[in-house]
Structure 1
Amino acid sequence: MTTIFDAPEDFATTALAGFAAIYARNVRLVKGGVVRSTKVPRGKVAVVIGGGSGHYPAFAGYVGPGLADAAVAGDVFASPSTAAVARVCRHADQGGGVLLGFGNYAGDVLNFGVAAERLRSEGIDVRVVPVTDDVASASVETPAKRRGIAGDLVVFKIAGAAAEAGKSLDEVERLARLANDRTVSFGVAFGGCTLPGAPGPLFAVPKGQMALGLGIHGEPGISEEKTATASDLAKLLTGKLLAERPAGTRKVAVVLNGLGSTKYEELFVLWTAVAKELADAGLEVVDPECGEFVTSLDMQGCSLTLLWLDEELEALWRAPADAPVLRKGTIIAAEPATDEIVDAEGPQSFGIASEGSRASGKCIAGLIGTIADALRAAEEELGRIDAIAGDGDHGQGMRRGSAAALEAANAAVAAGAGAASVLAAAGDAWADRAGGTSGAIWGLALRSWSNAFSDDEKVSDTAVVEGARLALDGITRLGRAQVGDKTLVDALVPFVETLERVVAAGKPLIDAWKAAAKAAQDAAEATSSLTPKLGRARPLAEKSIGHPDAGAISLALVARVAGDFLKVAEEV
């Protein structure tokens, strides 16, 4: 159980601050993450990695010469926000471009993807490489659907070594993708993990059993078996991975990873059996690593990662590195950084807005207030639905995100902002505070919707409908979800299509919105019969059948209360 903290909601930020203070030789604290504390040559490719907290030493522990230049940290088991990713990248950028690395989870894909687009618009060349090493989460025929677990260390080490050697962004990206394609992992758990302040673990493993193919965010395994001896466990782990051995491979880099509560002595015992299995398979082990590299708070268990080496990858795997969690070879000489980190953000300023647009902005802030009230009331129920096949934090994220959006919208209104600026500010705040997948989706939706509005004129019915389409397009483009995947998109598509159809038929916006909200509600309830194809619930598809998707339900709720607000506003 996670027991040492003051306030659960401050656990991640406090832990990061403590880490940065202890490892000041390696890192400097910035808002949302850490950057290298040593000088970095101009023109060097910046390798920026990240994800949710709760996985230490991933990701901050990987920062240092020969590995990562910076790490972005979200809340516990929640993706860092788009704003945080972009902010840390700006600190790390040295003019050679940025490689973004993260585990292949929906929230990370969205937040890192949107951040990459923003940075490109600022003139920074950014490449994105999600890690997909977990063989339990998808078949070999669909590797892009696999999650990233302890293979993160391997892929980031290869990318970091390539960048440290002065290779171009094209080359660093190529080598990172090559490493990812040749990295496989499989894990087992003997006990679940407990979030700070939670009364119990996110899942439990029956006594005498072990869960196979677990996730690192509290997701239970895909199956259970009787607890094995070290020798049998080694056969199980290596067998799953050797099945994907490329033809002709003779050398392998190995990471035996503890998940949080497994003793090092246990890992050492297991290593003797793993080494034997690999030797019997005719493989030469190169520079193995054994310890904690990607954890899941206090989870009891372990994972095995193999990188199938060629000559190029072997040289990069052996290359020197000097990070808190990994020191290889001759320590790279580096001088302390002397540049000042400026993280302070003053009050946001807005351009001049017309009276009509300011009035629309005030209405938008009122609407967001109504939405925030509804989501606060629904927090427990949304969390209950999400916990069936997820980590149960959806209600909390929606409450926090909408509350932050309301605060930002009110501040924008007070500053005289127009409709577009009010909604964009609300979207950015929602994403930044909520974190995770839902935060990324709602932040992207509101910001995309704001692109249909203007600070120069009152919001029209046409702009509202156009904004809905922009929101849908943005979410499906970056989130990659389709109707039938059991996500928010299952409710959003019928909402947008109904809104467009009814308005096109000449009906008032209020009537169209009411019909669209009903379509969203029906579609959200219908997700009970679907099996998830994306996100953390996908490996636990069977448990999800018979229950609706939490994201679709929350969208339908927002659509309904927004319709009620618009009706009252029109009557007033």
Structure 2
Amino acid sequence: MTRLFNDPADFADEALAGFVAAHRRWVRPVTGGVVRAAGTPAGQVAVVIGGGSGHYPAFSGLVGAGLAHGAAVGNVFASPSAQQIRGVAKAAHGGAGVLLMYGNYAGDVLHFGQAADRLNAEGVPTATFAVTDDISSAPADQAAKRRGIAGDLPVFKAAAAAAEAGQPLAEVARIAAHANARTRSFGIAFSGCTLPGADEPLFTVPAGRMAVGLGIHGEPGIGEAVLPTADEAAELLVAGLLKELPDGVTAPAGNRAAVILNGLGSVKYEELFVVYRRVAELLQEAGVTVVEPEVGELVTSFDMAGVSLTLTWLDAQLEPLWTAPADTPALRKGAVAPAAAGTAAAAPESTPETEDDALPQGTAASRETAVTAAAALRAVAATVAEHAEELGRIDAVAGDGDHGIGMLRGATAADAAARDAAERGAGAGTVLHRAADAWADRAGGTSGALWGTILHAVGDALGDEERPTAATVAAGVTRAGEEVRRVGGARVGDKTMVDVLVPFADTLAAATGAGDRLAAAWDRAAGAAGEAAAATADLLPQMGRARPHAEKSLGTPDAGAHSLALIVRAVHGVLSDTTEEH
């Protein structure tokens, strides 16, 4: 279990601060993460990687010459926000564009995509790429749905080495796709990990058994098997990967491969070497030539007891990229020439946005509504704090258990931002927009992106001038539902927050359309939301990290749906105590 921490909500920030203090030769802090201490060589594509905390040395430990130019670091098991990613990318940009790279998880896809959109709009040429190496998370004919696990490393390495060699952005992105197409990973675990502050691991494995096909966020395996010997574990991993060869590899014999045997946190080096001894024998027997293998902890999951095996099938293009020198806190290969370590002057440390200094003022009517909006967000933060542990427990049934911590960070930040904006004379729309940005930035993850979307949509409807009517509020909520479905891609029935947001919005619109005052209409809609949240217990997830473990979630409501139902009920308490005209 994770034993040393202060406030669990601050764990990721404090861990990053300590990492920087210990590795100043390689990295320096910027808003959202770290970049190379020496800067990005002028005219070189910057490869910026990122993801949640809890996986060290991924992602910050892979920043340095020959590998990443920067890393955006999110909360525990949650993607960094678009604002964090943008901050790191701008600090790392050397004038030739940026390639954003990450594992294929919903929150990362949302936030890195949003960051890329903003960077391109600001004149920084940016492309994105999601790694999809985990063969257990989706069948081969649905490879685009697969997770990124320890295969992140060889794919990141190939792209970064291409950038170091002076290749343009389009070619660096193409090489990333090529490396990903030839990379496969498979993992097993003997116990789950325990998040900071949690009393229990995210999943347990019966004595004498192991989980097969686990995720790196504490997601349970897709199956169980009898606990193996070290040799049996090696045989299982190798056989699983040799069953699925990438296009262009017709048989193992005669091919060359980069090999990574990765410890997930509690399986230590001597144990890994025992397993790798048999892995090497099996690959040799299959006719595979192993090229510069890596055995150690490279993509972890806190204290999870488990291992994964990764094969990247090399060709004439990928092999020199895999063997190219690198000098980072956690991975060092060959000798990096001084010039390759960074020839550009280090960019000044990036700082948070200063847009808040030019806060637009609302009309008197809108400022009154802003006070109510800020009070509603205060109630939301209090409700999330009260239920954070419960939300994490629900999320851990088939997911990674981070929903409570992420929601708490986001709601607390939104409350503070809304209160500050309201006290400075902002209208309701600006108050909600500031809260939306703060929630998305502080929470990260899928829920952070979606709650930022919800608050932005409602803020757009309220504006900073008119006193909103009940119909105005309902229209904003309806728009929020539409935007969440567009951004997140979920539909009713997928076992997500959409299963609550849509009936809530529909009921609110119907009630206000029938002439109900806002508090009464919201009460009816909150009731519908509660019923819809409970009904998600009977659904199988079709989206997110719970999808590969669909059956495990039967009987348990979706954490995002449940938190939304709790929140809209809390907001009703504020509306019922507020005069209708406000």
TM-score (norm 2): 0.92
Using the alignment, how far apart are the partners of 2:527 and 2:150 within structure 1? Answer: 43
Q: Please give the alpha-carbon distance, in whole angstroms, between the structure 2 residues aligned to 1:87 and 1:247.
A: 37
Counterpart in the other structure of 1:253: 258
Residue 277 of structure 1 aligns with an amino acid whose one-letter code is: L
How far off is 1:345 after superposition? 5.6
- Alpha-carbon displacement from aligned partner over 1:6-60 (angstroms, at most 9, x marks no partner): 4443332222222222221111112331101113233322211111111110001
- How many angstroms apart in 2 are the aligned matches of 1:75 and 1:137? 23
CA distance in 2, matches of 1:348, 1:105: 35
Question: Structure 1 residues 222, 348: CA separation in 2 closer, same or farther (over 3 Å shift)?
Answer: farther
- Counterpart in the other structure of 2:144: 144
What code does the residue aligned with 1:413 have? Answer: A
How many Å apart are 1:507 and its aligned residue?
5.5
Choose which of 414, 433, 451 in structure 1 pairs with 2:423: 414
2:435 aligns to what? 426
- Structure 1 contact 394–551 (Cα < 8 Å) conserved: yes
What is the alpha-carbon distance in structure 1 between the residues aligned to residue 384 and residue 435 of structure 2?
Answer: 15
SS of the counterpart of 1:398?
helix
2:252 aligns to what?
none
1:424 to partner: Cα distance: 0.8
- Deviation (angstroms), 1:556: 1.8
Q: In the alignment, residue 420 of structure 1 is paired with which amino acid?
A: G
Is this contact kept in 2: 1:419–1:459, CA < 8 A? no
1:312 aligned partner: 317
Paired residues of 2:12 and 2:74 also in contact (CA < 8 A): yes
User: Which one of the candidate residues 397, 404, 426 is aligned to 1:395?
Assistant: 404
Aligned to 2:559: 550
- 2: CA distance, partners of 1:345 / 1:119: 14
Contact 2:31–2:350 (CA under 8 A) maintained in structure 1: no
Pick from 476, 488, 496 the counterpart of residue 479 of structure 1: 488
- Alpha-carbon deviation of 1:293? 0.6
* SS state at 2:140 partner: coil
Structure 1 residues 312-338: Cα deviation after superposition (integer angstroms, max 9, x where no partner): 222322222221222223313235744
Counterpart amino acid of 2:266? S
In structure 2, the partner of 1:94 is: 94
C-alpha distance in 1 between matches for 2:463 and 2:575: 19
Kindly state the Cα deviation for residue 558 of structure 1 after the two structures are TM-superposed.
2.0
1:45 and 2:45 aligned: yes
- Aligned residue identity for 1:210: M
User: Would you say the 8 A contact 1:49–1:68 is kept in 2?
Assistant: yes
Match of 1:373 in 2: 382
For residues 247 and 373 of structure 1, the distance between their equivalents in structure 2, rounded to whole angstroms, comes to 53
Q: Please give the per-residue CA displacement for 1:456-480, whole angstroms capped at 9, x wherever unaligned.
A: 3333445423422332233223322
Q: Which residue number corresponds to residue 292 of structure 2?
A: 287
**What are the Cα deviations for residues 349-406 of structure 1, in whole angstroms up to 9, with x where unaligned?**
3123322222222221122122223333333433332232233332333233222211
Give the Cα separation in 2 of the matches to 1:360 and 1:560. Answer: 19
Q: Which moved more, 1:254-263 or 1:445-454?
A: 445-454
Deviation at 1:98, TM superposition (A): 1.8
**Higher mean C-alpha deviation, range 151-160 or range 338-347:** 338-347
Shift of 1:504: 5.0
The SS at the match of 2:80 is coil
Alignment match, 2:72 = 72
In the alignment, which of 351, 358, 361 is matched to residue 349 of structure 1? Answer: 358
Q: Please state if 1:539 is matched with 2:544.
A: no
Contact kept? 2:471, 2:513, Cα under 8 Å = no
Return the match for 1:302 from 284, 302, 307: 307
Distance in 1 (alpha carbons) for counterparts of 2:517 and 2:261:
62
Q: Identity of aligned pairs, percent?
A: 55
Tell me, yes or no, if the aligned pair for 1:419 and 1:458 is still in contact at 8 Å. no
1:63 counterpart residue number: 63
Paired residue secondary structure (2:71): strand
The one-letter code of the counterpart of 2:260 is: V
- Secondary structure of the structure 1 residue equivalent to 2:577: helix
2-structure distance, mates of 1:543, 1:68: 37
Q: Render the CA deviation track for 1:121-171: whole Å, top value 9, x for unaligned.
A: 323232221211111111112112211110111111111112112222211
Structure 1 residues 120-519: aligned runs within 5 Å: 120-246=120-246, 248-249=248-249, 250-333=255-338, 334-335=341-342, 337-343=345-351, 348-504=357-513, 509-519=518-528
Q: Residue 321 of structure 1 contacts residue 332 of structure 1 at CA under 8 Å; is this kept in 2?
A: no
Secondary structure at 1:430's aligned position in 2? helix
Give the distance between the partners of 1:527 and 1:173, measured in 2 at CA.
Answer: 39
Alignment length (residue pairs): 572
* Gapped regions of structure 1 (runs ≥ 5): none
Report the Cα offset of residue 344 of structure 1: 5.5
Q: Distance in 2 between matches of 1:136 and 1:149?
A: 11
SS of structure 1 residue aligned to 2:195: coil
Residue 218 of structure 1 and its aligned partner are, at CA, apart by: 1.7
What secondary structure does 1:324 align onto?
coil
Q: Using a 3 Å threshold, how does the CA distance of structure 1 residues 447 and 43 change in structure 2: closer, same or farther?
A: farther
> How far apart in 2 are the matches of 1:130 and 1:338?
28
SS state at 2:95 partner:
coil
Range moving further from structure 2, 556-565 or 232-241: 556-565
The answer to whether the 8 A contact 2:34-2:71 is kept is yes
- Contact 2:519 2:580 survives alignment (8 Å): no
- Between the aligned partners of 2:6 and 2:574, the Cα distance in structure 1 is 39
Checking the alignment, whether the CA contact within 8 Å between 2:64 and 2:327 is kept in structure 1 is yes
